[in-house]
Amino acid sequence: MKVLRLAHVAVAVSDLEAAGAAFAALGLQAQAPELVAAQRTRAALVPIGAGNVELIAPAGNEGLQRFLDRRGAGLHHLCLEVDDLVAALAELKGKGLRLIDEAPRPGAHGYQVAFLHPASCGGVLIELCEAAPASPAGAAPSAK
C-alpha cells in the first residue's frame, strides 16, 4: 500500500452553496455539487493548488446530519489517495486498525472509497480513495 497524496480535506456543512460562497470570498471556486447517491451526501470540491477542500452536506446521510446537529459545520475527514484500495484495507486490517468499510464502495468524484475508524487514526476520520472506474470484487454499494 502506498499513499499517493492528500486528496482532500472535507468540511461538513448544512448549506453547500453558502459554504461555496465563503470560499469564493477567498478567491477559491467550488465546483458544481455532485449528488453522491451511495453515501447520501452532496459534495463539491474546492480545488486549491494540488489539493482540494471537499464540502459535504447530508442528503439523507444520518451520520453526517448527526455530526452537524451536535457540532455544527466544521472539519470532518481527511482523504488519502492510495495506489490499491483493496490491498490497503487488507494490510491495515492485518495491522489491527479498525475499518468502517471492509470493502471499497462508490464515493464522490469517480473514486472508490473506504473509511477508517477515528479510534485507529488519532481521533481523525480518514477516508482512503482510489481512482477506479470498475467495481472491485467484493464491493457492495452501501449507504451510510
Burial class (CB in 10 A: 0-12, 13-18, 19+), 103: middle
User: Which amino acid makes up residue 119?
Assistant: A
| Closest separation in Å from C-beta 46 to Co ion | 12
Give SS3 for 16.
helix
Rounded to the nearest whole angstrom, what is the least distance from the CB of residue 77 to Co ion in the complex? 6
Site string for Co ion, 73-112 (x = CB under 5 A): ------x---------------------------------
Which phi-psi region, left, alpha or beta, contains residue 45 (left: φ > 0; alpha: ψ -120 to 50)?
Answer: beta
Query: Would you say 9 or 28 has its CB closer to Co ion?
Result: 9
Residue window 36-75: x/- pattern of binding to Co ion, with contact defined by CB under 5 A = ------------------x---------------------
Instruction: List the alpha helices (DSSP H) in 4-138.
Output: 16-24, 62-71, 85-94
**Shortest Å distance, C-beta 30 to Co ion:** 14
Question: Pick from 16, 127, 130, 132: which binds Co ion (CB under 5 A)?
Answer: 127
Do residues 85 and 128 touch, judged by C-beta distance below 8 A? yes
Interface residues with Co ion (CB under 5 A)? Answer: 10, 54, 79, 127
